[in-house]
Amino acid sequence: MSNFDLDEPNGHSYAEVMKTEVSPEDYVDSGSVSPDERPFYRPDEYYTFYPYNNKLFTRVVEFEKRKQISYPSARGLYVAEILLLEYCSHGKYPKPKAGYPGFWWFEYGLRDIGHALESLEKRGFIRWASKKGCLHGLNVAVLKQILANAGLPENGRKNELIDRIVSDIPEEQIVIPDYVPKYELTDTGKKELEENGYIPYIHKNNKSILINIWEINKLFPDGNATNWRKVVGEMEEDRLGINMADAAPVPDNENGVPVTGEDIRRHLADMQETIKKGIRTKGDGYNEEAKGLELKAAGRDREALVYLFISIGKRFAAPALYKETAVILRRYGLYKEELSVIDTGIEVLTTAGLYNGEMISRREKLLELIIKKARVPLRWS
């Protein structure tokens, strides 16, 4: 379903809102963008073209027009603004290193992200984070450099590095290379994002779940979307045969701290019935593999594993399926689960005539790692 086919709310139809003739020049205007923000956007000409087919795209619904044909949340925020909270919750905005993606304009009608963020700050949804509050948005190499500058040990995983910085280095002595202040959510912002979680959920998964974000927004005319998991989950059940949203985990915390191996185990245990049901659905596992890999690329490892295990349960013969599943499990130190996936992969691929030396080599190295971790001799049949 296209958002252009919907009868829009608030007394305005899509046709009414878009009836004013718009010229391409209107799209390139960056006059409101602050000079220090402009390097984080693409050239103005980019915003006159639809990025997927290089044609003039005259159906972008500008944010102010979108407000006339969509419903705000109970606190008065619109879809694009709530999605901005998601990016602020991970310490990425303003001035993201890779620049502002084009989807802010083409999908949500926002041309000036900086001033939209300032508006959210004025209304109490975000605030400037301390340096310690920005640490989760930094990569491991930068965290180690901060520790090295302070003469502290650089060993450990990302969470351990952050904990060491927070506990051992005073705020004023933290030196972050090329430091750019970032926003974080206030308590109000956290609540807003939690209650309207369908927006980041559908934004990240819209290619695989085939559900339109404006379609869901229309289902909450009073702004109360607290039951979005049930609503979206039932829609997924109807269209895909698998309810992922209803059991989708709540974000671990507002700082985007990575989940642990135990979190993964717990989630997979909770999703066992969903996985079993998914395995019994029609198909050879190709679609589930594709969805799982897409979720993995988006950093949604727990959801990715559900789809990947469904595909494995269907014994889909694709080397990437077993390799990428093993990569996720290794990331969280789930060696036993990884070994099981590799063994299944070797069996399935061999039966399909797809000998895979990489999988066999990975198994050997994994056994060495398990023995090293255990620090005792082990025998494996």
The winner for highest mean pLDDT among 43-57, 188-202, 351-365 is 188-202
Task: Retrieve residue 284's tokens.
Answer: 């050879």
Q: What is the mean pLDDT of residues 193-215?
A: 82
Q: What is the pLDDT of residue 218?
A: 94
Higher local confidence (pLDDT), 376 or 231: 231
Which element (helix H / strand E) includes 49?
Answer: strand 49-50
Closest among 245, 299, 300, 232 to 274, alpha carbons compared: 245
223 — pLDDT class (breaks 50, 70, 90): very high
- pLDDT reported for residue 11: 52
Percent of the residues in the chain that have a pLDDT greater than 90, as a whole number: 37
Least Cα distance to 135 among 178, 105, 99, 90 occurs for 90
- C-alpha span between 369 and 66 (Å, rounded): 54
* H or E element that contains 200: helix 198-209
Is residue 52's pLDDT more than 60? no
Asked whether residue 50 carries a pLDDT value surpassing 70, the answer given is no
* Count of Cβ atoms closer than 10 Å to residue 308 Cβ: 29
The pLDDT mean for the chain works out to: 81
CA distance 367 to 347: 17
- Token digits of residue 118: 């300032």
Asked whether 10 and 69 are in contact (CB, 8 A), the reply is yes
Mean pLDDT, residues 135-140: 80
Nearest to 189 by CA among 251, 258, 145, 263: 251
Q: CA triplet 318, 320, 322: central angle to 5 degrees?
A: 80
* Residue of higher predicted confidence among 134 and 246: 134
Residue 110: the pLDDT is 92
For 63, 169, 190, 332, the CA distances from 90, given in Å and listed in that order, are: 23, 22, 12, 20
CA angle 76/234/2 to nearest 5° reads 65
pLDDT at 295 over 60: yes
In this prediction, residue 209 has a pLDDT band, given cuts at 50, 70 and 90, of: low
Percent of the chain whose predicted confidence (pLDDT) is above 70: 81
Backbone Cα Rg of the chain: 23
Mean pLDDT of 320-339: 89
Is 378's pLDDT higher than 50?
A: no
Separation CA 51–CA 46 (nearest Å): 8
Segment (H or E) for 50: strand 49-50
The lowest-confidence range among 197-211, 277-291, 347-361 is 197-211
What span, in angstroms and rounded, lies between the C-alpha atoms of 318 and 354?
A: 9
Residue at token pair 């996936």: 341
pTM listed for this prediction: 0.60
Contacts of 250 (CB under 8 A, 6+ apart): 194, 197
- Give the strand pairing for 183-185 and 126-128: antiparallel
* pLDDT score, position 362: 86
Q: pLDDT at position 246, please?
A: 62
d(C-alpha 80, C-alpha 199), whole Å: 9
Q: Return the closest-CA partner of residue 348 out of 320, 305, 312.
A: 312
